[in-house]
Amino acid sequence: MKQKKIFFAVFCCFLLLASCKKITGKVTAVNENSEMQLKVEESTETYINDIIVLLFAYDYNSPEFIDDCLEYLQQEYGLEENGGIIRPIVFPDDFQKGGRTRISILRDFVRGADVNAVITFGAPEDTAATLTVLREQGWKTPVYTLFPQDELLPSEYVSDFVLENVDLQRQIDAESLFFLTSRLIRYTQTAEELNVATMKNVLQNIVGFDWQVLPYTDTETGIRPANHFVLQSTSTIRFGTIK
């Protein structure tokens, strides 16, 4: 499978951060007295009743990868269809209208008041432009962009953070990616405030010593966007990839 092992961990972390409002701003804290709580399974913990939208797109939309990722995450968070908090959507399968693929349909999946965060994997072209329309209408839901294939500048504008892998010789294993996503979900369910420095440290702790989480630098302008990070391998060993 193409990058299957690496993507699993990053995916899990990304879900964790998903419950926050904006990485540079304050996050809505969980109200202990709130009635909006649910129990996914007897063996799981209690989480606020907010949906985490997961968009599986380029390089991360194979049935094998999606099944493995959801199997990993639903044990703790549950799928929306079963009373849990995870709403998976797949590009291009879930974006068909009138015989054409329309990324603008994404707005219908994420604009609801019950959506607490959006995590994208391999976001296709115009994903950021689609979400920017909502941003300009006052939509404040956090967006976490992992390994996008969309334009970077719009992605930085619409996202709380963007994560890329700049190492062409190695990919993060899927299990680590799933773990990362899960950590992100859990972290955002309990954190009162998140910032860029916090996110960088969270990512670094998850990917371990084999990877460095570094700030992204635009090679043309020298600008370092505060919410854009890259993964750089610290070893020459190559991991398996996801199909």
The whole-number average pLDDT for the span 136-165 is 94
Instruction: Tell me the CA distances in angstroms from 100 to 54, 62, 89, 95, 104, one per residue in order.
Output: 22, 20, 17, 8, 11
Quickly state the pLDDT bin for 206 (edges 50, 70, 90).
confident
pLDDT of residue 48: 54
- Of 83, 95, 84, which is closest to residue 120 (Cα–Cα)? 95
The reported pLDDT for the residue numbered 188 is 66
Q: 32: which residues sit within 8 A by CB, 6+ positions away?
A: none
Of 181 and 17, more confident? 181
Average pLDDT value for the chain: 79
Q: Flag the least confident range among 47-51, 75-79, 81-85, 100-104.
A: 47-51
CA distance 216 to 166: 10
Whether pLDDT at 20 is above 60: no
Q: Does residue 21 surpass a pLDDT of 60?
A: no
pTM: 0.76
Structural domains in the chain?
Answer: 4-29+37-233 (3.40.50.11400)
